[in-house]
Structure 1
Amino acid sequence: MQSFGTSARVGYDSSAFYDRKIYAEPEEVEDGSSEENAVPELNRLYAHSSSSMHELPDNSVHLMVTSPPYNVGKDYDEDMSVEEYRRFLTEVWEETYRVLVHGGRACINVANVGRRPYLPLSAFITADMIDVGFLMRGQIIWNKQASAGSSCAWGSWRSPSNPVLRDVHEYILVFSKGDFARQKPECEQKQATIGRDNFLEWTKSVWEFAAESA
């Protein structure tokens, strides 16, 4: 039997790792029901805040993907403090938790912002999602270097004493509700359509593709 952490794709016993105190607290959350409800209407857009998705019943959505407003002065932004901003987003995370099925996924694309100070929005959102009850599944680094320019922060050009980092990445934070797995109903037992090479590439924690102009 190989020890945990071997480089090859071989069988190993990881129980010693998960028995450590860092994993002492149970992570899976009983959210009351694993029964899934049908969405009343497919392929319809609702033009209002996701903090109240009253059109959707509990436990009805399998996947949520979003990139929230960054609160940095865009036309659609409000001028909020960090705490106000986090409360604003948490209302959406709580409503997302309600509508997701047991084992459903939530994926949030976000970038960190600012320099003085540097605001780790990805860390704030991760902490708030866990507080809501989500299970953290991992984070994908979106490497946007292919579309990054050559600009730098004023006053930092070739300054070894106080360089300023240029972010060429964003995050895709991945969470699930209630369980790390999702038992699909028999009616959904369909054959996977993703190929071997795409599966191996897309399950890596770093993605590389150019960004679109906002």
Structure 2
Amino acid sequence: MLRLPGTYRAQGDTFLLIRALRRSGGAQGCRVLDVGTGGGALALSAVRAGARSVTAVDLSRLSLITTRLNSLLHRARVELRHGDLFDPVRGRRFDLVLANPPYVPSRSDVLPRRGPGRAWDAGRDGRAVIERICDDVAAVLVDGGRLLMVHSALADEDRTVQRLRDRGFRAAVVDRAPEPFGPVMRRRAALLRSRGLLRPDQDHEELVVVEARR
């Protein structure tokens, strides 16, 4: 996979979500939306899994350029849309939505407007974007459609599952895996320990995949 400077590098969370996609029956014949596509790793995985169509959305034009280059390199047909979460596809319906949103707790609830921090900063509780997805995803899913979303357990998977259930979904955690701290988490570890989110000796987080069916 190509990665232009300043774009999100596919790592453990991306690979965990790809694993969950395969375990859940894949994307064969599905109209797939990859929201917050980054470099396009999830979108390309959906194409390889036999999706009928794949649409990738991102707020970063640089990320969309990266996804375009990767789709050309791998000869994968991916439709690109620029904008914020579901806004670019309002009025359309999908069978499957894939999401790897920002989820790292940050110093402030004010989210960055530009720069690489947009890919991980998610407010003081790490849920600023997760909750928007929970609240709005029903509008782009067909009846019986699915959401697969990955985030850190630090952002409280129980709240994610309950929020989706409150909105009429059948939701559960379907996969999880430990992940060693990367550069962002190492820089932020002292802050998270001061909030009681990390143990003093903790050097990894747990990633979870939540599946929700409409």
With normalisation by structure 1, the TM-score equals: 0.43
Which has the higher Rg, Structure 1 or Structure 2? 1
Q: Which has the higher helix share?
A: 2
Relative to its length, the structure with more strand (as a share) is 2
